[in-house]
């Protein structure tokens, strides 16, 4: 066994001490008692140094080690070096924590830091204003015990890091907060609360403006359409140039009526309660009606619409809203698919949720457009959409309906290969009741 540089000299010191003690004992005729006494002295010396170590460890971290000899000098010096490194690391970590708290404290968003057990470890000043938290009263308390809103409790329990949640401030119900979760080290979590009240008020004002304008436009458009139709009935008596102008007026007024109709439908959705009249919805039967109505629409080329619907999978929701969403997707596929092409409509599901899909063999959609689909009035090809009667509001209506039915919209498309619009519904939207 190779001894370290520290233990080698200590062993030789011990052996020399024992040898001298034994030699003296042999000289005086008592070798065994002398050897025993030497061992006792060595043990007492070690015990005395242990006592010094215990006393020194209970002193301030800044106290230098007491003077000792032998291997104990190395022990004391090593512990002192560890203390110095720990003190420097502690100062560095303390500085990092202070910078973190200054940074998060300067954030305009309310910020709450949760420990591994979900208890509040720290929060900034905005959190005291919008959440009603107070120091030191709420430090160590669980956040869900103070914000007793079921949606928030479930959101926090599931740790939906890629999702957000809107809730009313417990201090002022007029304040709307957007909640986001940010994971930190291990199981720690930072909860951010952003005040979006101003944005919501602007959205409400915008919706009211659009609804009012749409409502006011409906009557004059009806009058214009009436006069155009009356003049078209007299087209044999009118010059060709006038007839051409009347035809264009008719097309544009129809387009305006479609825009107004979709705007009013979207406004009604946004202004109404989340679902309105909720009931068991036989989706297979609903889709048969949607497909039949689409086939009967005039102005479209010949298309083969193939329906595959599982009658055992049904939803609980608002039938009229679902008809509007599904019909928009089917009609949208017909509008953007060449005559003679196939359009596949499918409905299926399992215990985890349901899936509605519309697949076409159209021109497809370029990748740069996919992220913006669903924005109001956004069209991939504006001129083509206008020619086919599209208003740019259909997918916005679809997304609004899906949000109310625990659903989401996904679009898969490649240029030249067609598109597939898929509506996914969570298990919470399924209905097991008999129709």
Using one digit for the tens of pLDDT, what is the confidence trace for 370-380? 777 766 666 66
Tokens read off for 166: 């809107």
Task: Give the Cα separation of 242 and 240 in Å (integer).
Answer: 5
CB 418 within 8 A of CB 361: yes
* The dihedral sign for the CA sequence 105, 106, 107, 109: positive
- For the chain, the first-to-last Cα distance in angstroms comes to 85
Global pTM?
0.53
Segment 126-151 mean pLDDT: 88
Contacts with 193 (C-beta within 8 Å, 6 or more apart), sequence order? 109, 110, 111, 112, 126, 127, 130, 131, 177, 178, 179
The answer to whether residue 293 scores a pLDDT higher than 70 is yes
Using one digit for the tens of pLDDT, what is the confidence trace for 321-372? 898 889 989 988 888 888 778 889 999 988 888 999 999 887 788 777 777 7
Give the model's confidence band at 435: pLDDT under 50 very low, under 70 low, under 90 confident, else very high: very low
Tokens read off for 348: 């299926």
Q: DSSP per residue over 266-296, as a string?
A: HHHHHHS-SSSS-EEE-HHHHHHHHHHHHHH
The fraction of the chain above a pLDDT of 90, given in percent, is 8
- The reported pLDDT for the residue numbered 425 is 93
- The reported pLDDT for the residue numbered 374 is 63
Using one digit for the tens of pLDDT, what is the confidence trace for 17-61? 778 877 777 887 777 887 788 788 888 887 887 888 878 878 766
Distances (CA, A) of 202 to 156, 197, 198, 199, 209: 28, 9, 6, 5, 10
Pick the CATH number of 279-431 from 3.90.180.10, 3.40.50.720, 3.30.565.10, 1.10.3720.10: 3.30.565.10
Q: Where in the chain is CATH 1.10.287.130?
A: 202-271
The fraction of the chain above a pLDDT of 70, given in percent, is 87
Nearest to 176 by CA among 158, 161, 163, 164: 164
Provide CATH code, domain 202-271: 1.10.287.130
Say which CATH class 107-195 falls into.
alpha beta
Task: Give the Cα separation of 51 and 229 in Å (integer).
Answer: 109
Nearest to 109 by CA among 134, 93, 90, 131: 131
Task: Give the Cα separation of 53 and 388 in Å (integer).
Answer: 90
Q: Which of 91-95, 172-176, 213-217, 336-340 has the highest mean pLDDT?
A: 172-176
Give the model's confidence band at 298: pLDDT under 50 very low, under 70 low, under 90 confident, else very high: very low
- The reported pLDDT for the residue numbered 339 is 78
Summary mean pLDDT of the chain: 80
Give the model's confidence band at 391: pLDDT under 50 very low, under 70 low, under 90 confident, else very high: low
- The reported pLDDT for the residue numbered 299 is 47
Q: Where in the chain is CATH 3.30.450.20?
A: 107-195
Q: Where in the chain is CATH 3.30.565.10?
A: 279-431
- Which backbone phi and psi does 409 adopt, to 5 degrees? -110, 135
Task: Give the Cα separation of 290 and 296 in Å (integer).
Answer: 10
Q: Which helix (H) or strand (E) holds 16?
A: helix 7-28
């Amino acid at each position: 066994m190779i001894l370290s540089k520290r233990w080698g000299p200590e062993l030789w010191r011990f052996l020399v001490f024992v040898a001298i003690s034994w030699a003296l004992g042999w000289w005086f005729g008592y070798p065994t008692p002398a050897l025993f006494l030497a061992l006792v002295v060595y043990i007492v010396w070690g015990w005395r140094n242990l006592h010094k170590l215990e006393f020194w460890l209970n002193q301030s971290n800044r106290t230098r080690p007491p003077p000792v000899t032998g291997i104990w000098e190395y022990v004391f010096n090593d512990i002192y070096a560890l203390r110095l490194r720990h003190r420097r690391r502690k100062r560095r970590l303390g500085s990092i924590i202070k910078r973190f708290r200054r940074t998060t404290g300067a954030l305009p968003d309310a910020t709450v830091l949760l420990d591994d057990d979900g208890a509040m470890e720290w929060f900034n000043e905005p959190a005291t204003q919008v959440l009603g938290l107070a120091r030191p009263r709420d430090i160590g308390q669980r956040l869900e015990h103070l914000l007793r809103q079921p949606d928030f409790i479930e959101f926090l329990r599931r740790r939906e890091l890629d999702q957000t949640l809107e809730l009313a401030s417990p201090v002022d119900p007029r304040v709307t907060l957007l909640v986001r979760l940010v994971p930190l080290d291990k199981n720690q979590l930072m909860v951010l609360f952003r005040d979006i009240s101003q944005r919501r008020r602007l959205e409400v004002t915008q919706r009211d403006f659009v609804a009012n304008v749409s409502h006011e436009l409906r009557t004059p458009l009806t009058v214009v359409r009436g006069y155009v139709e009356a003049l078209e009935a007299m087209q044999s008596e009118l010059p060709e140039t006038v007839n051409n102008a009347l035809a264009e007026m008719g097309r544009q007024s129809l387009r305006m009526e479609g825009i107004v109709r979709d705007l009013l439908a979207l406004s009604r959705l946004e202004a109404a309660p989340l679902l309105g009249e909720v009931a068991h919805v036989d989706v297979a039967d609903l889709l048969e009606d949607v497909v039949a109505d689409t086939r009967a629409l005039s102005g479209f080329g010949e298309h083969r619409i193939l329906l595959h619907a599982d009658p055992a999978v049904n939803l609980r929701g608002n039938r009229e809203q679902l008809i509007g969403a599904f019909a928009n997707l089917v009609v949208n596929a017909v509008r953007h698919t060449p005559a003679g092409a196939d359009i596949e409509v499918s409905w299926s599901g399992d215990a985890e949720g349901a899936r509605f899909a519309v697949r076409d063999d159209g021109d497809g959609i370029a990748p740069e457009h996919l992220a913006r689909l669903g924005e109001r009035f956004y069209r991939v090809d504006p001129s083509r959409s206008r020619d086919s009667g599209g208003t740019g509001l259909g997918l916005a209506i679809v997304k609004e309906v899906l949000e109310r039915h625990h659903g989401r919209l996904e679009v898969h498309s490649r240029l030249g290969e067609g598109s597939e619009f898929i509506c996914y519904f969570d298990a919470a939207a399924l209905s097991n009741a008999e129709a």
